[in-house]
A and B are shown apart, each in its own frame.
Chain A
Amino acid sequence: MITRRNFNRLAAVAASSIAMPSVLAGRAFGQDTPIRFGASISLTGALSGTKNGQIGYELWRDDVNASGGLLGRQVELVLLDDQSSASNIPAIYSALADVEKCDVLFGPYGASLTAPVMPFIKQRDLFMIGMFPLAANEKARHDKFFHSAAWGPNSGTDWARGFFDLAKSVGVKRVAILANDLEFSKNAAVGGAKVAEEYSMEIVFNQSYPPNTSDFSSILRNISAANPDAVFVGSYPADSTAIIHGIREIGLPDSVQIFGGAMIGPQYGSLLSSLGPELNGVVNSHLFAPEPTMQTPEIKKFFDRYVPIAEKQGVDPLGYYVPPFYYVAGQLAAAAITGAGSLDQAAMAAWLHGNTVETIVGPAAFNDIGDWTKRRVLMVQIQNVKGNDLAQFREPGHQVILDPPELKSGEFIHPYNKARAS
């Protein structure tokens, strides 16, 4: 039985939802003094593991405001949750630009969420710092788009080139490629196959698997049957864990010199501590490792402040992969604004194209489509891990940088089975 009270409550919900746009519009046209930076972040959904990037943004905002702001104005962040869904992106970025009246935009995380925003910023001719999309601007070629991550030029192909450089250095001739049926890992696998062919390596196994695969025993047996010298894997955290568990049970042949490449998961504290010594020997991509060749006072200061916040919020307590580059995005935008002396989007882009910016992860310079001029994707080998204590991963010697050569911090242990036993 519906009472009048229940009916009235339902009517109130309907009325308030109809009235809300006018409330929003009223807020939209207010002129705030601070410079507003807008971004969508994936607080929920499949990409919510990247939400610790928000800490990077907030630390940058606090630092800028503590030092007097930009152009004499304080900095304000407007962050909206995209729910990891590309379909939400057009409306979110329109809301940031048209309702929230943001002065500068940061992109959403990753290629699949960035693709929908590229036509929007091109049509509006807006400045944007992209967050981790591979090869996002190669089609749009928008001259006001810049990457915060150091993917380097031709990232679609060259992103994992370091893995194949290492493989080549130890005489690898036969490569197996295994990839999740999802955007990032498929991209990595296609790029990896191209580089392998360029290096005259024979691809003896090339297979993708459905995203929810949890048992890799038959796939690993097939890989072993192909007798490869290298196994290049593009995977996401759940399947990375399942693959590592599968190797513990089934193993890989002694011919395998190098294993890993594009596995998402071993960059994060939760997976590093849960898998512990099982990860020994894996050579995998990363963007930062606490090795002497990468440590600077600035990055140390960043992590000294990041860790307590991350622990309080229950997000990745290491934060090596995503958060520093969200801070870098702020630094790049701030440098462009300060350099241009205004919020003029064309002047900001022109300044960033013509100058190198000193960031907490090192100097950043850009080519004509906003890629870092120099690829700085790390290939790290996990070594000497004992037990599951997370603290060991904050020390050097456990995520040893093998590539690029100028950041090399240790020796490559191979073949893989020998490295696993280390």
Chain B
Amino acid sequence: MTRDSKIFLIAAVAVLLAGLLAPHVLKNPFYFFAGYVILQYVVIATGWNILGGYAGYINFGAAGFFGAGAYASAFLFNTFGIPLLGGLVAACLIGALLGVLMGYLTLRIQGVYFAIATLGLVIILETIIHNIPALGGARGIVVYGPPPPAWAAGPSQYMFFLMLLIAVASVSLARWMQISWVGRGLRAVRASENAAECSGVPTLRLKLLACAASGAVLAAAGAPYPFYTSFVEPVTVFSLLIGLNAIAMPLIGGTRTWLGPVIGALLMASTQQIATITISSELNILFVGIVLIAFVALAPNGILGLVARRSRETPR
């Protein structure tokens, strides 16, 4: 294990411990409700970045995977009584399968054509849900989850810790993919797919692997959602806003490494949560738009790219 990996492991354990101890320090449940949403976006941004950042395939269909995960866990719990952890595993499998299917059908096209094809996935899934009465159709499904385990301080604290676990696992997966042979291959695909293919990089297999991993992580972000809101309906979970945030957050943080989406999501989702309870949401949306334009214009490689450039420019 490298020195960086050891530091990452220690940091991950420290974050989990901090999350476990947080309810003893922060007594106000609001921080856990808001923290859940912020961590959910950390997972979404991380999941999106595996395909969109590492491989350079812009995926507008993040909400499709998120919604599929949400519906999988809600359906399994309401119909078969399968608890959230079981639903989470099932959501990951469904997300990975959807990712492979989407990839197999669409990876032969690139750029804007690929982006439009992924947007179609959201519309297809939403229409399917609308027309399946067993999944509640347009009326949605009410999910009254079981009470939290005894060790948890309350429902919001339990959901927060669970999302923290998912976030740490997702970021760990993204980091492993970045530093392993998979990441090297995906970087080659992003730089020049033809050159990578000529050099013996198995581009299709790598892209399918990235689709599967990205889909699984995005679906994992959606799995606890029905237990957080106690309700799931197609309009919200297949919302375009999820897809836009999934793209905006890595772009703001930086798409080249696992840390960029984490920084982008923490910054943007925190600001959005604060703005929701302090200022008009119209200004909130305006603020997100302005920040996004500012980063695209001033820092196209995100915060991490900006910091790296600053450090290169600083005379030693």
Contact = CB atoms under 8 A, between A and B. Distances in A.
Interface of B: 28-31, 33-34, 36-37, 127, 130-131, 137-140, 142, 144, 154-156, 225, 228-231, 233, 235-237, 239, 241, 267, 270-271, 273-274, 276-278, 280-282, 285, 291, 294, 298-299, 303, 306, 309-310
B282 A43 contact: yes
A139 B142 contact: yes
A391 interface: no
Interface residues of A, number: 51
B30 A95 contact: yes
A2 B306 contact: yes
Contact of A90 (B229, B270, B303): B229
B235 A44 contact: no
B203 to A, nearest CB: 34
A81 B281 CA distance: 6
A83 B139 contact: no
Interface stretch (A113-121, A258-266, A286-294): A113-121
Contacts of B241: 85
A123 B231 CA distance: 15
B150 to A, nearest CB: 16
Contacts of A14: 267
Nearest to B225: A87
Q: Is the interface of A mostly helix, strand, loop or mixed?
A: helix
Interface in A87-119: 87-92, 94-95, 98-100, 112, 115-116, 118-119
Contacts of B144: 119, 139-140
B281 A115 contact: no
A17 B271 contact: yes
Given A7-B310, A181-B130, A88 B233 contact: no
A115 B231 CA distance: 6
A183 B29 contact: no
B30 A186 contact: no
B314 to A, nearest CB: 11
Given A85-B236, A123-B155, A116 B229 contact: yes
B78 to A, nearest CB: 11
Nearest to A122: B144
A361 interface: no
12 contacts: A14-B267, A17-B270, A24-B274, A28-B28, A44-B281, A44-B285, A90-B228, A91-B34, A100-B277, A112-B233, A181-B131, A181-B138
B127 A210 contact: yes
Q: Which 9 A-B pairs have the closest CB atoms?
A: A115-B231, A116-B229, A91-B33, A94-B33, A186-B138, A81-B281, A94-B30, A98-B30, A119-B230
A94 B142 contact: no
Contact of A95 (B138, B277, B282, B299): B277
Contacts of A13: 291
Given A17-B270, A86-B233, A116-B230, A2 B298 contact: yes
Contacts of A87: 37, 225, 229, 236-237, 239
A115 B274 contact: no
B296 to A, nearest CB: 13
A192 B160 CA distance: 41
Most buried by B among A10, A86, A90: A90
Contacts of B154: 123
Interface string A367-379: 0000000000000
Given A87-B225, A112-B231, A6 B298 contact: yes
B263 to A, nearest CB: 9
A297 interface: no
A125 to B, nearest CB: 13
Contacts of A187: 139
A25 interface: yes
A18 B280 CA distance: 19
A81 B282 CA distance: 9
A2 B297 CA distance: 10
A176 B236 CA distance: 29
Given A7-B306, A18-B270, A88-B276, A116 B231 contact: yes
Interface string A57-97: 00000000000000000000000110101111111101100
A119 B237 CA distance: 19
Given A43-B280, A81-B276, A94 B225 contact: no
B28 A98 contact: yes
Nearest to B155: A123
Given A81-B280, A87-B239, 18 more contacts: A2-B306, A2-B310, A17-B270, A20-B274, A44-B285, A85-B241, A87-B229, A88-B276, A89-B229, A91-B273, A98-B28, A112-B231, A119-B155, A123-B154, A139-B142, A140-B144, A186-B138, A208-B130
Nearest to A115: B231
Nearest to A179: B138
